[in-house]
Amino acid sequence: MNREHHYSVDVAWLGNRGTGTSGYREYGRQSVVTAAGKHDLEASADRTFHGDADRWNPEELLLAALAECHMLSFLHVAVKHGVVVTDYTDAAEGTMEQQGDGGRFTSVTLHPVVTVSAPLDDELFATLHHEAGEACFIANSVNFPVRHEPRVVVG
């Protein structure tokens, strides 16, 4: 049975310095992302594209979405396999190639460090990450590879 889920956010541009987009360097890239019942998320373009380095940019948000989706999928798969996870961190990295005025991500690599309560074999650990990758809605929605270089710690 297919079920649809709908999501909505609002994005408002805050960068009009009084002359709108009268020139490429004449406007700010600041924005705010809002969703009902959630804290505002201050965003901007990447510093390379004249944005503010102290605000989230779309590229970082894409990496965050992929890393969090994989983490949540992994935790679900771990429960199904009886694996107790006590800690999970990730240092996601992505590569984007600029092509003229556009561009695209060419790859993302997740580097999860998963702490488990009891030892598990390498094959099961790899299976958990594979199943999590298959279950991740966000990874299944992008057109570039999302790789995993996981590490397990027994704690």
Give residue-wise pLDDT tens across range 95-141: 999 988 888 999 999 999 999 999 999 999 999 999 999 999 999 99
CATH for 58-154 (3.30.300.20, 3.40.50.300, 3.30.1490.20, 3.30.70.2660): 3.30.300.20
What would the mean pLDDT of 132-152 be, rounded to a whole number?
96
130, 123 in Cβ contact below 8 A? no
Give residue-wise pLDDT tens across range 14-68: 998 998 888 888 999 999 999 999 999 999 989 988 899 999 999 999 999 999 9
Six token digits for residue 21: 């987009």
Buried b (16+ CB within 10 A) or exposed e, 94-133: bebeeeeeeeebeebbbebebebeeebeeeebeebbebbb
In the chain, domain spans: 10-49, 58-154
